[in-house]
Amino acid sequence: MAKITASVYTSHVPAIGAALDMGKTTEPYWQPVFKGYEFSKQWMQDNTPDVIFLVFNDHATAFSLDMIPTFAIGTAASYQPADEGYGARPVPVVQGHPQLASHIAQSVIQQDFDLTIVNKMDVDHGLTVPLSLMFGQPNAWPCPVIPFAVNVVQYPVPSGRRCFELGKAIRKAVESYDEPLKVQIWGTGGMSHQLQGPRAGLINREFDNAFLDRLIADPAAQAAQPHIDYVREAGSEGIELVMWLIARGAMADMAGGAAPRVAHRFYHVPASNTAVGHLILENT
């Protein structure tokens, strides 16, 4: 059977992608950000999975106000890096895993979560920046990726609790797939940030670190926090953090297994307009 081996959590700041693509990683502003991912890149080499289930949000690139799926699973064979208006990032095409994705769609929908099936989708910085942070700049991504898009852009957004419960359903789905695949689940976006309005530039270190503490040790309590708290405390874009609860809900301890091992934790302010947060949790 397939197994979820670990979960990875990381911010997706688009300027990080631009810094990488333009060779600025050693500049004084960026050096401390990339330093936080040195461990992670080595860890990824030592723990390359067979498939990544990557929870991310689209930023009005593949979807728009014309169509707003709350939860959308990518079942395509491949995904093109998106052109977000200033040209597509020079990163490899993302290869999918249609068989596992279809199995997860079937299982999760039968567990009563309504997913939108997406057979064609371009992927923006929400998906490609986390890949770049964890893998660097390879000629091809080392494994297939199942993109799972969550609407955290246009209200109403899903609650943390629903995301957490969805993670549990995804775990059941993965672990009922009849092939011995090692699967990682990634939760991306965050941490505190607000890009517009009078509070633009908001960053809340206390909220972010309390979120990380609770995500690790008491995710059910974190899942109970209402969306309005994220908006108030972490800024309008801080709501991206509910996506981390999907990945956390899929870990073994949420289904009676052992607590995960914290392989890596990193927090840094600033990167562009946000705080950068990053965690790697291993199932033991």
What are the residue numbers of the active site?
Answer: 125, 193
Is residue 97 a contact residue for ligand DHB (CB under 6 A)?
no
**One residue of 2, 4, 7, 14 binding ligand DHB per CB under 6 A:** 14
Judged by CB, which is closer to ligand DHB: 86, or 139? 86
Number of chain residues interacting with ligand DHB (CB under 6 A):
11
Query: DSSP H helical segments within the chain, as ranges?
Result: 14-21, 31-35, 38-46, 98-110, 125-135, 160-174, 205-217, 219-223, 227-234, 242-249
Window contacting ligand DHB (CB under 6 A); options: 13-21, 80-88, 174-182, 200-208: 13-21
Judged by CB, which is closer to ligand DHB: 212, or 271? 271
Window contacting ligand DHB (CB under 6 A); options: 136-144, 174-182, 208-216, 269-277: 269-277
Judged by CB, which is closer to ligand DHB: 143, or 243? 243
DSSP 8-state code for residue 47: T
Tokens in use for 171? 């775990």
Is residue 58 a contact residue for ligand DHB (CB under 6 A)?
no
| Closest alpha carbon to 119 in 87, 146, 85, 142 | 146
Nearest distance, CB of residue 38 and ligand DHB, angstroms: 22
**One residue of 58, 165, 237, 282 binding ligand DHB per CB under 6 A:** 237
Distance CA 36, CA 102 (A): 35
| Closest alpha carbon to 281 in 241, 256, 250 | 250
Beta bridge partners of 182: 3
Nearest distance, CB of residue 261 and ligand DHB, angstroms: 28
Residues in the chain: 284
For tokens 């979960």, name the residue: 7
Is residue 274 a contact residue for ligand DHB (CB under 6 A)?
yes
Helix (H) or strand (E) run with residue 1 in it:
none
Window contacting ligand DHB (CB under 6 A); options: 12-20, 103-111, 207-215, 241-249: 12-20
Residue 233's SS3 state is: helix
Name the site residues for ligand DHB (rule: CB under 6 A). 12-15, 59, 193, 195, 237, 272-274
